[in-house]
Amino acid sequence: MEAENKVVGIGAHPPAPVPEPTEAVETATCEPAELREPISAVCEKISRLRNRALLVLATSMIDSDLVERLCRFRKKLQAAASRKEGAVDVLLNSPGGELNSCFLIAQLLGRWLGCSWEALVPSYASSGATLICLGSSSIVMSERAQLGPLDPQQRLFDADRSSPFEAFRGMQELFNFALNCFENGVEFMVERKVSPEKALEAAGDLAIRMVEPIIAKIEPCDIGILAIDSAMAIDYCARIARPADPARRTQREVDPAALVRGLPGHEYAIGADAARALNFHVCDATPELEDLFDELRPLLTSASCYIGLAG
């Protein structure tokens, strides 16, 4: 079977070059357009409450187009960040997207916003959006907010999507099944006075025959692609969470491998308590901010994309 290397979620392509920032007017973009004003109004309230500029990245898919839109705000973001440390918040509302685009956005925010910025999560910042959060000094989460594992998605195995979580968990279960067959077979035959040598040989043959039809359908290339994706996701997490500059305040205590390989599955929800257990620095939203999150949440749910800067 030949792998179809088409990225569905976060996938394995060479890192994209940093785009040249455009000089387009930094107006908020929203789809659908009629939601721009109500969303912008709530974002201005959040900016005033926090006394900080507020960059909003709310999208159903983080991709290269979002990177281009973000670059339009470069000068204003740098100007806001130059006034004082921690002068900019970044509100994230996204299920994630292309791994390289998420990594690039995290890098750009680190360059533009100085040594410290805080992430605000009213609903969810999953997968690649969690990667962006690793560059923050703190994550302010609502009561309903959640982060998510970084699980690179590829179209492999003739399926709509495949992930390292699913593939490697399946391989582990297959290994455990074969081992149990072998151990139970040896025990069964030894109890019936079969010599240990013959018991080992027969049980090994039985275990192989039990898993051989499944193993025959596995493409080593597919497993290799997923392993590469997984390793790249861990590397990107480490580079964002642990930058070389010691002055940068990021999520340095988070173990990148735990986000990529250490959680139960792709859909696993990381709430505030679970995030703290993973060593994220998390703050609960104040009651006033929680009210504004409640006002903003249905608007963001109805919008497929909103990119803007308030304050």
pLDDT digit string, tens, across residues 227-281: 788 888 999 999 999 999 999 999 999 999 999 888 887 788 999 999 999 999 9
Cα–Cα distance between 69 and 73 in angstroms, integer?
A: 8
What predicted TM-score, i.e. pTM, was given to this entire model?
0.78
Residue with the larger pLDDT of the pair 181 and 12: 181
pLDDT digit string, tens, across residues 156-171: 445 555 566 666 667 7
Cα–Cα distance between 164 and 54 in angstroms, integer?
A: 35
**SS3 at position 29:** strand
Tell me phi and psi for residue 139, to 5 degrees. -115, 120
98 alpha-carbon distance from chain centroid = 10
Give me the percent of the chain exceeding a pLDDT of 90.
Answer: 60
Cis peptide preceding 17, ω within 30 of 0: no
Cα 245 to Cα 79, 108, 203, 280, distances in angstroms: 21, 15, 56, 19
- What's the pLDDT band for 1 if we cut at 50, 70, 90? very low
Contact present, 181 and 203 (Cβ < 8 Å):
yes
Cα–Cα distance between 178 and 187 in angstroms, integer?
A: 14
62 strand-pairing partners: 97
Q: What is the 3-state secondary structure (H, E, C) of 288-300?
A: HHHHHHHHHHHHH
pLDDT digit string, tens, across residues 199-214: 899 989 988 888 888 8
Cα–Cα distance between 185 and 219 in angstroms, integer?
A: 29
